[in-house]
Structure 1
Amino acid sequence: MTDFAGLKALVTGGASGIGRATADLLAARGAEVAVLDLDPGGVAKPLRAYAADVRDDASVREAVASVAAGLGGLDVLVNNAGIGAQGTVEDNDDAQWHTVLDVNVLGIVRTTRAALPHLRASARAAIVNTCSIAATAGLPQRALYSASKGAVLSLTLAMAADHVREGVRVNCVNPGTVDTPWVSRLLDAAPDPAAERAALQARQPTGRLVTADEVAAAIAYLASPLSGATTGTALAVDGGMQGLRLRPVGR
């Protein structure tokens, strides 16, 4: 497919996991793609690497301006940078709450704020935010993370309403548990990594973890000019977690 031919895209958190899979896919489908990451050292051509911290407004504004200048504009913004957290509402202290919300929510605010003047100049502008099934389903030991992603879902809808008449579409993807380096680190830290992986797989009706490439494909669908009538949508890529209620196996 060449539906992104001639378009300029920026992917935050694009050096690994979902972000890297998305950047690679957009480039393969014709886009010129810039990756913004804390450590973009492993990013190679045809992707363009930019270092920035989404917690720092000046850093973000400088990076986005450099991206727009280097690419000659901006048509697509993928707000993917994010961090996780484990625990109940009792387990994370105020500093952890501030850090996760600063990255997962305000990181989107800062990057979008810097990108909007460039997106408004595009005839095919699209923003896609990486949200989570945690925004719509109660998951154990994810109070802080779920709160941050619930905010991302609401923010996506508000942004879509604010900017639809400016020609900027805004959507989000809600992945289930994705087989990424972050999830691998969580599994490695568990008392029984194999049992924890099996439990995460069983939680999704498909019986397996979501792949980064599958989430990237959903992001590309929402960002594509072929989806010009789609805005204010949350697309679940969760192995059926959101909508399916299967009987236990053998019953």
Structure 2
Amino acid sequence: MSQKSVSRTEMATYLAGALNITQFRDYCPNGLQVEGRHEISRLVTGVTASQALLEAALESGADAILVHHGYFWRGEDARVIGTKHKRLKLLLAHDINLFAYHLPLDSHPLYGNNAQLAQQLGLTPNGRFGDDNLGWLGNVSDAAIRTVGDLAKVIEHQLKRVPVLIGDPDQALARVAWCTGAAQNLLSDAIAAAGVYISDEISEPTVHLARESGVAYLAAGHHATERYGVQALGKHLAEHFGLAYQFIDIDNPV
């Protein structure tokens, strides 16, 4: 396939429709966050628009960067100083577009983080729960994965990190609930629908709620579980528009 290009406007319009961005009450603007050059022929994706990702994308010759965690979060300091100034200066000085999609990329049934995590862990989705149906429900496809401890080993092998497990590793697997992101607050909703809940982060109250409810909790890592949506979406865009494409993984232990 010969390399082609697409206008930033066409890409923004296509992504807005494909990800149904108006459906979500989000904490940040979804779409084109920083305007760069008009034509895009090389796309880079990553989890978070950190300085390290921006510099790596610049070195690779990117016209556009697409991330899950972008800028301009609700309640943040609006001043363009410090780290924010440094990041925006790099993008603007080199005319690089920044696209960011938060909840829409968690939720999408094909390219979303939850859909892609299910593929990584061998989960078969069969339902949704929680606000905006962000939480997913399903079952483990492999009959040999019989306990919570077995599932924790799958997570460790696939995501290359040891999950925090709250609960009995010998507990038999029932229905599984999962939601990528800082979604420990959805545990109370998951309790009514599943016997184990997988999310990214864990907080002090989460431990007590998991223990007292009997629902095992697996904290698998925010970055570790959200590497896959941007990759799936980036590959799709590269194929759809004929773009050069690269995923850049900036290591993050959280």
TM-score of the pair, normalised by structure 1: 0.29
Question: TM-score, normalization: structure 2?
Answer: 0.29
- The structure whose Rg is larger is 2
Instruction: Please state which structure has a larger fraction of its residues in helix.
Output: 1
Greater per-residue strand proportion: 2
